[in-house]
Amino acid sequence: MRIGLYGGSFDPAHLGHRHVTLTALRRLRLDRVWWLVSPGNPLKDRTRLTPLAERCAQAAGIARHPRIAVTGFEAALGARFTVQTLRYLRRRRPGVRFVWIMGADSLATFHRWKGAAEIARLMPIAVIDRPGSTLTPLSARAARRFAAHRLPEAAALVLPDRPPPVWVFLHGPRSKLSSTAIRARTRRESRPASP
């Protein structure tokens, strides 16, 4: 099995998440992608986070694909950091070829993630292009650190079969949707109108 792991707050999930997932399914020939709806991102404000069960239900409504599974199991696992989840999955499913999937905007801050270097050693990474994030992430600290381990995009199909550290940057049609922008718009629209 070749399984992509796509983690995030999904607050809210949107068609951009689905677009990234379908790109990874197709370009990497994955059997499945699991959306790992996190209990909360340690690098973001968690005080305004929608409850996990609501985010999972909403994400399932957006995913609508037989090869996309939505799960909030990280909360039950007690994992606060991605690296903990990935260690757990590698131990529990040693025969599965996992691939970590992230948007290009996440690559720009990847060096700040707890255990970023270990994540890169645990499983291959697929970085999917995002609007406004095509060039900057490729010069990011993590991209420079692992530059020697970057696969050419034309070799993306072999990514799940390669021993880590290895990563690929996938270009293609991009979605401008953003959970941050959706939340900001929702807050603006829910403010009472001025008299």
Q: Which of 38-42, 146-150, 153-157 has the lowest mean pLDDT?
A: 38-42
Query: What pLDDT sits at residue 50?
Result: 94
Q: What angle do CA 126, 132, 136 make, to 5 degrees?
A: 65
Average pLDDT on 133-142 reads 75
Query: What pLDDT sits at residue 184?
Result: 52
Query: What pLDDT sits at residue 189?
Result: 58
Which of helix, strand or coil describes residue 8? strand
Query: What pLDDT sits at residue 113?
Result: 95
Q: Using a pLDDT cut of 70, give the percent of the chain over it.
A: 84
Rounded Cα distance, 174 and 53, in Å: 28
Query: What pLDDT sits at residue 130?
Result: 76
Query: What pLDDT sits at residue 138?
Result: 80
* Domains delineated in the chain: 2-180 (3.40.50.620)
Query: What pLDDT sits at residue 42?
Result: 72
Model's pTM, two decimal places? 0.86
Quickly count: other Cβ atoms within 10 Å of residue 72's Cβ. Answer: 19
92 Cβ partners below 8 Å, 6+ apart? none
Average pLDDT on 120-133 reads 88
Count, residues in the chain:
195
Q: What is the pLDDT of residues 50-78, one digit of tens each?
A: 999 999 999 999 999 999 999 999 999 99
Query: What pLDDT sits at residue 149?
Result: 97
Backbone angles phi, psi at 169, to 5 degrees: -105, 120
Query: What pLDDT sits at residue 183?
Result: 40
Rounded Cα distance, 105 and 130, in Å: 7
Mean pLDDT taken over the chain = 88
Q: What is the pLDDT of residues 5-53, one digit of tens each?
A: 999 999 999 999 999 999 999 999 999 999 999 998 776 766 789 999 9
Position 177 pLDDT exceeds 60: no
Which of helix, strand or coil describes residue 169? strand
Question: Which amino acid belongs to residue 78?
Answer: G
Helix, strand, coil share of the chain (percent; to 5):
45, 15, 40
**Nearest Cα to 127, choosing from 148, 158, 151, 145?**
151
